[in-house]
Amino acid sequence: MPTPPLSDKLAIEAVDAYARNHGKGNLAAKELGIHPNTFANRLSVARLRGFHMSDGARSAMRDAGLNGLEAKGGWIHNYNALGNKVGTTRWTAPVDEAETNKFLDTIRSAIDDLKNDDFPTYEIRPAPAGECLLVIDLADIHVGKLCVETETGYTYGRDVAVHRMVEGTRELIRKASGMGIGRILFVLGNDIIHNDNAKSSTTSGTYLDSHGTIHQMYRDAFSGYVKCIELARLTAPVDLIFCPSNHDWLMGWCLAREVGAWFRNAPDVTATEYNLSEKHRKYYRFQDNLIGLTHGDGAKEADLYPLMMTEARAHVSDCPHKYIYVHHLHHKIRKQAGVLSHKREKDHIGMTMMHNAVRSMEGDNVQIEYVRSPSPPDGWHHRNGYINRQAVECFVHHPYDGQDGRFTVWF
């Protein structure tokens, strides 16, 4: 005959004996006068039935609609009709009714935070009369970088970083306002946050001098982005696009997704799944312009031209004006790559050198341009002589004539 199922009374008795003997199974078995293996089986069944948890915890499970689930040691196991386990979910069990209510209130609050009504609603603005694209590329902000004046000659922290983001954006828009702007491409990412974790290090583990905690950096960067994009949308509809980077590979992606969600109710701010994805290189088509964006810590510069030809092949032949904006180096480099390759411009310490070269049609080449950073050198960079001219930049693209202007705000 098959062994009859263990009664709830015996299962609860095993749990109580286990508690009275301070978690020592052999002593609990001796108290009950049964073999240790028999006691172990009873305790296992009791846990599967949830008898090791408080009444409040079991009540919370019922209130949460967890019917058909069994608890074991703080984990929820899901079984199919055949009795096979098909999934496991973490469960943190409250200890009493008050804890249960607090736990459920926390869940409800988190769900309420995701409702559309909690995101700001922006008014619909009239379409601008301009036809040009303004690319606002706030590169390598490094919110949370620490620069000490007595060591480097520069002072930089979270407050300075956000100030340069917002005021730099405001001034770039003012300078470009006479160019007939009809749309704005706002670039996110590119080491917007200095660290990627609570250990004050980059994604790969390199330790950094930092100003504040990772939570403070994240909040400040988010606040800065919201202010900048709100300024941009006063001029023209805004497309958001994200470049993953080496300092904040994870936090930068999370930040970009939150910024996109924040503007979900703004009819003139667009954040597509592709634009905010973790793809290393992105491409953006604007009439006869094909614009590539990458941080610059991945594929080699020499490979960017053939990569564009391959990854954006559907647009290459239709776009005589091709550009790739690169970041990471914090200083200006402009090159032509392709049929005829030559350097156009490069920042050196204390100066920018312009290079003369054979003129060629832009359609024969890809224009590769590294974008300046507003963040000064920290202790390590200054010690090793990596000095950059601090600035934010924007670029104006005519729909048919290509890049028609560039504006810089110096700090």
Q: What are the pLDDT digits (tens) for 83-93?
A: 555 554 444 44
Residue among 280, 247, 198, 216 at smallest CA distance from 378: 247
Q: Does residue 59 contact residue 71 with C-beta atoms inside 8 Å?
A: no
| Residue count (the chain) | 411
Cα within 13 Å of Cα(215), Cβ side: 0
Tens digits of per-residue pLDDT, 210-233?
999 999 999 999 999 999 999 999
pLDDT at 98: 64
Q: Which region among 99-103, 273-277, 374-378 has the lowest average model confidence (pLDDT)?
A: 99-103
Q: Does residue 398 contact residue 356 with C-beta atoms inside 8 Å?
A: no
Tens digits of per-residue pLDDT, 100-158?
566 566 656 655 655 555 678 898 888 899 999 999 999 999 999 999 999 999 999 99
Instruction: Band the pLDDT of 69: cuts 50, 70, 90.
Output: very low
Mean pLDDT calculated for residue range 28-46: 88
d(C-alpha 142, C-alpha 163), whole Å: 12
Tens digits of per-residue pLDDT, 296-354?
999 999 999 999 999 999 999 999 999 999 999 999 999 988 655 556 677 665 556 65
Task: Provide the token pair at 383.
Answer: 């010690």
Give residue 140's region: left, alpha or beta (phi > 0; psi -120 to 50). Answer: left
Which homologous superfamily is 130-410 in?
Metallo-dependent phosphatases (3.60.21.10)
Instruction: Band the pLDDT of 57: cuts 50, 70, 90.
Output: low
pLDDT at 109: 62
CA angle (281, 381, 383) in 5-degree steps: 165
Where in the chain are all domains bearing CATH 3.60.21.10? Answer: 130-410
Mean pLDDT calculated for residue range 59-77: 47
d(C-alpha 255, C-alpha 338), whole Å: 35
pLDDT-above-70 percentage for the chain = 77
Tens digits of per-residue pLDDT, 256-266?
999 999 999 99
d(C-alpha 260, C-alpha 273), whole Å: 10
d(C-alpha 343, C-alpha 369), whole Å: 10
Residue 157 phi, psi dihedral angles, 5° rounding: -150, -165
Beta-bridge mates of residue 137? 187, 393
pLDDT at 119: 77
Q: How far is residue 318 from each of residues 288, 315, 360, measured CA to CA in Å? A: 7, 5, 19
